[in-house]
Amino acid sequence: MSWSDLAAFPARAWPLPVVLLALRLMGRRHRFTSAEALRAAVAADRRHTRVDPPAAVARRCRVSERRLGAQRCLTLTPPTVRHPVQLTYVHGGGHVAQISPYHWRLLGQLAEAVGCTVHVPLYPLAPEHAHPAAFAMLDALYAEQVAQHGAEHCVWMGDSSGGGLALVIAQRAAARGLPAVRDLILISPWLDLALSDPELPHLAPHDPWLDLPGMRAAAAWWAGGDDPAAPHLSPLNGALAGLQRVNVFMGTRDLLWPASRRLLARAQAEGVEMTLHEARDMIHVWPLLPIAQARPAIQTMAELIRVPA
């Protein structure tokens, strides 16, 4: 069984133990056990990963493309557009991996469930690039969207490293005086690239997906010589005031879980509306996985996208 096999069946729910077995057989966690293992995984990703939407998604949504500088930005449009919201999705992958079928599967579901347009920027990745190249693309996209559509019709979303990056871009926009998008929806966001929480060495052995050595390497590549704890890299340490509604979906069997609780405390202290949707014993980015437990989370996300704050 391959990862594409798991992602190819939007109507099928695999038992969670089967997905955990697939993760182990595919060595998903092994890639994070060392910098060398991660570099080898990145090389394989560049050779073999197909970044365009799979046929199952392309049959159900129209796929269009434009260029933002040298980078591609793909758009999914469902057969019937019923909602004016413009959803932008910043994909995860530890700042190093390309977009994968399970991302497209979720985005196709959301596009059809809400009846909205979904924009997917394929931003530059590490280790070939550090964060400034991605910031240049995403800052420009954010400014363009709020100018063209109005911030009240814009929702930014992301998972893992992409979730943290979506929050960083919103914080940077606020610092420039741009209006805040209506909603931020973050799935298992990587909020602290410094991985500073003292609980992490105790949590790492129980996470079937992530491990600290490879994550520290990815953070260093992305930081490009900057301090990974700096607010422009670790949004947990940045200002939250001025943001609109923030929703975070996090499982308790996720190495990134403690930072989400710290973000909630920060949001409450700064008067920002944030809801932390915790799923007991769920793993990293579980709402993207083809498991029954993902369905309520996806329904909640669709409703958040559909309903104004």
> Can you give the pLDDT at residue 17?
87
Q: Are strands 183-187 and 245-251 parallel, antiparallel or unpaired?
A: parallel
Q: What is the pLDDT of residue 11?
A: 47
Chain segment 6-42, per-residue pLDDT in tens = 344 344 678 888 888 888 877 789 999 999 999 999 9
User: Which residues form the domain of 288?
Assistant: 3-306
Separation CA 289–CA 299 (nearest Å): 14
Check the CA dihedral 130-52-33-187 and report its sign: positive
Which pLDDT score is estimated for 5? Answer: 36
**Residue 1 pLDDT:** 31
Query: Considering the entire predicted model, what is its pTM?
Result: 0.94
Q: Residue 14: how many CB atoms within 10 A of its CB? A: 18
CATH of the domain at 215: 3.40.50.1820
Q: Is the dihedral of CA 112, 113, 114, 119 positive or negative?
A: negative
Helix (H) or strand (E) holding 201: helix 200-203
pLDDT at 27: 75
Question: Quick one: pLDDT at residue 309?
Answer: 60
Q: What is the pLDDT of residue 4?
A: 40
State how far the alpha carbon of 303 is from the alpha carbons of 110, 251, 306, in Å: 10, 20, 5
Nearest to 192 by CA among 136, 267, 258: 258
User: How many domains is the chain partitioned into structurally?
Assistant: 1
Name residues of the chain where pLDDT drops below 50: 1-11
Give the CA angle between residues 117, 118, 121 to the nearest 5°. Answer: 140
